[in-house]
Amino acid sequence: MRQIEEQILRAQLATGCVHEKDLAALLGLSQHAFCVRKIRGRFPKKELLILAISRPDIDADYILNGDRKEPPFFPGVSEKTIRALHQATGAFLLELQEKLS
């Protein structure tokens, strides 16, 4: 299996995207742009890093290199718990923004 295919598979597993077109949309790319990068063997690293900033449950190093590390700021905390905390925080911030507007 080529490295790009492994990266795409890890990205799909990490994000829960079943189809590559869904992964492309999540990364902010058109399906065509994603396909071109796949053919060229170039995973969209910049887009992945931008996504990882807003989604702390996504381990960009794991997706790109296959190296899984525990986040240093959440040692021993499951990905499911981190996702739940992230969603709750996002909902709280949206509610706060609405109240302040």
- Give the chain's residues under pLDDT 50: 72
CATH of domain 3-69: 1.10.260
Q: What is the pLDDT, as a whole number, of residue 79?
A: 67
For residue range 19-32, what is the model confidence (pLDDT) as tens digits? 999 999 999 999 99
Burial class (CB in 10 A: 0-12, 13-18, 19+), 86: middle
Instruction: Name, in order, each residue with C-beta under 8 angstroms of 75's C-beta and a sequence gap of 6 or more.
Output: none
Q: What is the pLDDT, as a whole number, of residue 82?
A: 65
Q: What is the pLDDT, as a whole number, of residue 78?
A: 66
Structural domain boundaries of the chain? 3-69, 73-101
User: The whole model's pTM is what?
Assistant: 0.65
Which has the closest alpha carbon to 71: 16, 14, 23? 14
Match 């296959």 to its residue by tokens: 66
Taking each continuous run of H as one helix and of E as one strand, the counts in the chain are 6, 0
> Rounded to an integer, what distance in angstroms lies between the CA atom of residue 33 and that of residue 80?
31
Q: What is the pLDDT, as a whole number, of residue 34?
A: 96
Q: What is the pLDDT, as a whole number, of residue 86?
A: 66
